[in-house]
Amino acid sequence: MNALRSRRFIMLGLAPAVLIYALFVFVPVVWSAYYGFFNWSGIGESKYIGLDNYVEIWHDSVFWRALKNNVIFVLASVFGQIPLALMLAVILHKSNPLQRFLRSAVFLPMVLSTVVIGMIWQYIYHPQIGILNFLLDALGLESWKLQWLSDDKIAIFSLVPPLLWSFVGLYLIIFISALQNIPGEIHDAAKIDGASGIRKLVSISLPMIWGTVQVAIILCISGSLKSFDLVYIMTKGGPAHATELLATYMYNSTFNTYRYGFGSAISTTIVLISLLLIGTSQWATSRKRKEN
Amino acid sequence: MPTPGNTSGHPVRQFRSGIVWTLLTVYGILTLYPFYWLVISAFKTNEDFYSRPFGLPEKWNVENFSNAWESSKLGTAFGNSLIVSVGSLIITLFIAALASFILARFQFRWKGLIMTFFVVGMLIPIHSTLVPLFILMKQMSLLNTYWALILPYTAFALPTAIFVLTAYLTSIPRDIEEAAFIDGTGLWGLFTRIMLPMSVPALSTVTILSFLHAWNDFSFALVFINKTGLKTLPLAIANFADGYQTDYGLTLAAMTLSVIPTIILYLVFQEQVMKGMTAGAVKG
């Protein structure tokens, strides 16, 4: 093969992917950092204000509330979805019809748009027509009835079940494929040694898929930081910022209060927080791997 | 491990696995109940909705569906979603496959850098690009066009697509391209006639991932599209629900109609969808 021709082929072949990707992913992130230094309403003049937006973010109670809510989502995902999915995976990793059926059922919400998921749960929680409150009535638990999404103390926690419902299937399938990759001989050897049931699970299966569990934790963290649609559909960040997330706060600042510069500064902060968190977890897991 | 086929033998074990399977069945029902509720409620009138929240409809109002289809302009939304999803899918498949072919089969100086460039992008949360992308699209006069969605969907699908495809293409033995060169096939021919057909399994994973992502996306459509005629399905459904807040049967009928295509797709391609999603998720 002619070296010059293959060089041209390499360049021309990579160009479309690199260009589209750079223009619509990379450039916006860099631009966002730049716009963060301006006071701009989206139309008319923009004014350079240095680090003022970032200083404002630092002192902004709504921003910290949003960050706290994001952390609640991260914790709820890591300690809700991962153990639940692990438990289900251990029981459902073989392939009889009932197991296949349950697996499909748990995974089904993954293929829906978050808009539909959010709307279904909005109906479930509705104070007058919601089936949750109807159910509590039917069970004689009237006193447990709540304003699930409009009470600022519980609204953020009401958003956790839909989050679990829609994503647990993903982790279930990830864990099942990890469990299925454990070579059969290892189970046979364990049987000969007399290990069974819980013992086999704790000392063989779990350690063997631990790497996958760590990947799932990273996915949970980055996934929770990306949450936007569900909350936007169900509460729009309200009541009174009680369910505000970093992404909804960014959206509201930019497109509802027309503070493009401030919104951009929040965007940049989100990128930095994500990179920091993912970097930390990568570092932690790779160190763990080295120790093993 | 307790399995239904394994219940014979010890009575304690049998009892334990009975409990596990009862709990699992309850969990399965809880998971599916929202779907069941959505579909049966879509046939109800408002009175029925209040008076029998868990029961079947008193009368099956099939006209809820035709009314919802008409008044929510669901047909247009379906068409728009199809155009942007298929459009970005075709571009993604083609340029990602070409780039992956090069990254997997050639040695050149910037290779590592370009791979890193794509990895870093996978860590960027989509929403943090909303504001600058909005400004960029405004300046390029792309807002309220199909391209405003096709291009970002493509851009965000690329990293995962390139990872899945590069991993797959790297595993194809060298002999194949040597044989092709001896037969006089050029680089382009090697790509289109040999590598593309050989990567069909990886391409189908990428297809499922990119299509579902584009079809279900809400945030890009929310920010870049506000012309009624261009609204995609999730956006149209969300807006419809805002407008017809108190007509429950109608809203739920619109929602039901909107989920039918992805549910059918899922039921038909179940195994691939699950595999595709996990491949994308683990790589992403």
- With contacts defined as CB-CB under 8 Å, which chain A residues touch B262? 111-113
Residue A145 and residue A58 in contact, taking contact as beta carbons nearer than 8 Å: no
A144: pLDDT strictly greater than 80:
no
CB contact under 8 A, B125 and A110: no
Q: Give the model confidence (pLDDT) of B224-283 as tens digits.
A: 998 989 999 999 999 888 877 778 888 889 999 999 989 998 999 888 888 888 777 765
Cβ within 8 Å, pair B129-A32: yes
For residue A291, pLDDT beyond 60: no
Pick the residue of B128, B216, B258 with the most A CBs within 10 A to test the interface with A by mutation. Answer: B128
Q: Of A17-31, A182-196, B52-66, which one has max mean pLDDT?
A: A17-31
- State yes or no: pLDDT of A98 exceeds 70: yes
- The one-letter amino acid code at A99 reads Q
Residue A195 has what pLDDT?
A: 67
Distance from CA of A28 to the nearest CA of B (A): 5
Give the closest-approach CA distance of A185 to chain B in angstroms.
16
Give A5's contacts in chain B (Cβ within 8 Å).
187
Number of C-beta neighbours around residue A29 at 10 A: 19
Predicted ipTM of the assembly: 0.86
Q: Provide CB contacts within 8 A for B80, sequence distance 6+.
A: B146, B229, B230, B231, B232, B233
Give B180 to chain A, closest Cα distance, Å. Answer: 12
pLDDT tens digits, residue range B89-102? Answer: 999 999 999 999 99
Q: pLDDT tens-digit profile of B106-128?
A: 888 888 899 888 877 777 777 78
Q: Which residues of B touch A108 (CB under 8 A)?
A: 31-32, 35, 263, 266
Cα distance from B262 to chain A (closest Cα, Å)?
6
pLDDT-derived band of residue B2, with 50, 70 and 90 as boundaries?
very low
Residues 113-152 of chain B with CB under 8 A from chain A are 114, 117-118, 121, 123-136, 151-152
Contacts of B129 in chain A (CB under 8 A): 24-25, 28-29, 32, 267
> Is B151 a residue whose pLDDT tops 70?
yes
Task: State which residue of chain B sits closest to A217, comparing Cα positions.
Answer: B282
As a whole number of Å, the end-to-end CA separation of chain B is 32
Between A217 and B84, name the one with better pLDDT: B84
Can you tell me the mean pLDDT for A82-98?
A: 87
B192 SS3 class:
helix
Are the Cβ atoms of A111 and B3 closer than 8 angstroms? no
Least confident of A14-23, B6-15, B213-222: B6-15
Bridge partners of A48, per DSSP, are A38
pLDDT of residue A290: 55
Q: Tally A–B CB contacts below 8 A.
A: 255
**β-bridge partners, A39:** A47
What's CA A166's distance to the chain center, in Å?
A: 11
**Distance in Å, alpha carbon of B280 to nearest chain A alpha carbon:** 11
Work out the angle at residue B263's Cα, subtended by the Cα atoms of residues B259 and B267, and round it to the nearest 5 degrees: 175
Is it the case that residue A18 has pLDDT exceeding 90?
yes
Whether residue B19 lies within 8 A of chain A, CB to CB, comes out as no
Q: Element (H or E) spanning B210, and its range?
A: helix B200-216
pLDDT tens track for B50-92: 777 787 888 888 888 888 888 888 899 999 999 999 999 999 9
| Min Cα separation B281/chain A (Å) | 7
Q: What's the predicted TM-score (pTM) here? A: 0.88
Portion 259-278 of B in contact with A at CB < 8 A: 259, 262-263, 265-266, 270, 273-275, 277-278
The one-letter amino acid code at B17 reads S
For B155-174, the pLDDT digits (tens) are: 999 998 998 899 899 888 88
Q: What is the 3-state secondary structure (H, E, C) of A96-165?
A: CHHHHHHHHHHHHHHHCCHHHHHHHHHHHHCCCCCHHHHHHHHCCCHHHCCCCCCCCCCHHHHCHHHHHH
Q: Does the pLDDT of residue B7 top 50, yes or no?
A: no
- The confidence score (pLDDT) of residue A20 equals 95
Model pLDDT, residue B5: 46
- Classify residue B5 by its DSSP letter: G
Q: Which residues of A touch B31 (CB under 8 A)?
A: 105-106, 108-109, 165
Chain A positions touching B106 (Cβ under 8 A) are 6, 10
Do residues A279 and A43 make contact, with C-beta atoms less than 8 angstroms apart?
A: no
**Would you call B131 and A264 a contact, using CB atoms and an 8 Å cutoff?**
yes
First-to-last alpha carbon distance for chain A, in angstroms, is 45
